[in-house]
Amino acid sequence: MADVPNLIPALPEIFLVCAAMALLMLGVFQTGNEGKEGVKTAQLISNLSLTTLVLTLLLVTTIASGPVLTFGGMFINDAFAVFFKVLVLIASALAITISQEYVTRQGIARLEFGVLILLATVGMMMMISANDLMAMYLGLEVQSLSLYVLASFQRDDARSTEAGLKYFVLGALASGLLLYGCSLVYGFAGTTSFDTLAALFGAHPEEAPSVGLVIGIVFILAGLAFKVSAVPFHMWTPDVYEGAPTPVTAFFSVGPKIAALALFLRIMIGPFGDLAAQWQQIVVFVAIASMVLGAFAAINQTNIKRLMAYSSIGHIGYALIGLAVAGQGGDGAVREAGIQGVLIYMAIYLFMNVGTFACILCMRRSDHMVEDIDDLAGLSKSHPMMAVALAIFMFSMAGIPPLAGFFGKFYIFLAAVEAEMYGLAVIGVLSSVVAAFYYLRIVKVMYFDALADSLEKPIGRDMAGVLVGTSLIILLFFAWPTPLLSAAAAATRGLFAG
């Protein structure tokens, strides 16, 4: 008899996947899945999904401890994983909260929505905790498959179907690249375990790795860059963000990106940490290209969802500076500062983005959604509070102190300067100045353009709650930054210790 593996570290994932299946059964066996009753079932399921996510969040924080390996070393639970899991769970919970009103109004309230978000969350948590190439790939697939379906959830709408199909075809290509890279790494190193790979490369640091291995790492990098939508693998982002139902876009722009970035950091720092000389230049290039493209391509956009897509590409570029710094080598403290910057950046990015999308979800006129930036004209007269909230998010994204977005960029650029990567820091600052143009244009449209046609008035209670909560976090972060900073520091130490 073989021993039963230690299930405690994976308890949140197990709970979440069991709860998703239970909710699916509960929803399917509810009487009547059509019309009014169908909407009622969908609301019940999405409320229960929200409860499940909160319970999982509690579980994640209670079982948090030192690094624990389980399932034969394929699954790791450390401070780094806990930090990102908390972010991902918050992202999913906020996405469900802001989606409820929208799905009912658009007539796509179906019970599978909540269940698919739960399953996508399971996939993300598996990615974050992956400690083996195979476990990484399977987590990524659980996540991606759920997301493909969510993108085309509004299946009677041609744009949504197109978004789903595009995402699926390109995502499958990226998975293929990633898998090909994994197979090359396995072929040349003889193992898929992150720990063994790290030990292998750490044992002979002076020896140049074989060419096949480097090609494998480059393929893995390409696959992951696709998942975080970094240039040059960003083509799908604007189309998918524009076509997918807006709450799904909100979810796309935070949850999967955060999870994929966590995986990116873990795989580059963990198993391939000693090969930093091989991948660091690529990360530098990807970071610069993403920042520049995110800054310039967004200028001409009129659709606010496309604008947010380019903005998210730019933000990923800033976050990748942190990884480039960590790959620079040299002083351990500087490398830690880079990773810590990424963690802080992603946490702040989460709240900014969800808040902005909550504002976009409030943009509707006579029962249909409007998505153009010009539709925001005169928002300060018709919805003063919403205009203030959106202005806070826009100023924060542009990185204007004392809002939280400034601190995100500050820690990243500080790390780059400490690592003496001045070029990267200068390009980052310059591109964030360019990006400030289109963020501030939204503020200008809201406050100085004449009111054309007022957006619909009452904002739902959930939405107002999310708006107030996220804008307060962004606004008051500077007053009490210690919890996030210390959590990020602990998580970074966890990553480097492992």
Partner 1 sequence: MIVQALAFYLFAFVTVTSGVMVISARNPVHSVLFLIAAFFSAAGLFVLLGAEFLAMILIVVYVGAVAVLFMFVVMMLDINFTELRQGFLQYLPIGGLIGLVLLVELLVVVGGWALAPEAAHSGAAPMPPPGILPNTHALGELLYTRYVYLFQAAGVVLLVAMIGAIVLTHRQREGVRRQKISDQLKRRAEDSVEVRDVPTGKGI
Give contact residues for partner 1 (rule: CB under 8 A).
2, 5, 10, 17, 21, 24, 33-34, 71-72, 74-75, 110, 112, 115-116, 119, 122-123, 126, 134-135, 138-139, 141-142, 145-146, 148-149, 152-153, 155, 164, 190-191
What is the Cα 84 distance to its own chain's centre? 10
Report whether 429 contacts 291 (CB < 8 A): no
Compute the least distance from the CB of residue 423 to partner 1, in Å: 41
CB of 165 to partner 1, least distance (A): 10
Cβ count within 10 A of residue 328: 22
Tokens of 378: 């005169």
CB of 71 to partner 1, least distance (A): 4
Nearer to partner 1, 149 or 392 (CB): 149
Return the bridge partners of 76, or none: 69
Residue with tokens 């604007």: 238
What is the smallest separation between the CB atom of 32 and partner 1, expressed in angstroms? 10
Of 190 and 401, nearer to partner 1 (C-beta) is 190
Query: Which own/partner pairs from 463-466 qualify as long-range (CB within 8 Å, at least 24 positions apart)?
Result: 463/98, 463/101, 463/358, 463/361, 463/362, 465/97, 466/94, 466/97, 466/98, 466/354, 466/355, 466/358
Which residue in this structure is represented by tokens 């802080």?
Answer: 344
Burial class (CB in 10 A: 0-12, 13-18, 19+), 221: buried
Q: Which two tokens stand for residue 119?
A: 């399953």
- What the block records as the tokens of 125 is 């948590």
Q: How far is the CB of 155 from partner 1 (least distance, A)?
A: 6
Neighbours of 149 (CB within 10 A): 19
Please name the helix (run of DSSP H) or strand (run of DSSP E) that holds residue 369, with its range, or none.
Answer: strand 368-369
Q: Please, which residue, 155 or 444, has the CB nearer to partner 1?
A: 155
Least CB distance to partner 1 at residue 38 (A)? 9
Nearer to partner 1 (CB atom), residue 17 or residue 250: 17
Given the complex with partner 1, which of 212 and 423 has the nearer CB atom? 212
Q: What whole-number distance in Å separates Cα of residue 204 and Cα of residue 481?
A: 41
Residue 10 or 276 having the CB closest to partner 1: 10
Closest distance of CB 180 from partner 1, Å: 19
Nearest-angstrom CA–CA distance, 99 and 50: 11
* Closest CB to partner 1 among residues 112, 375: 112
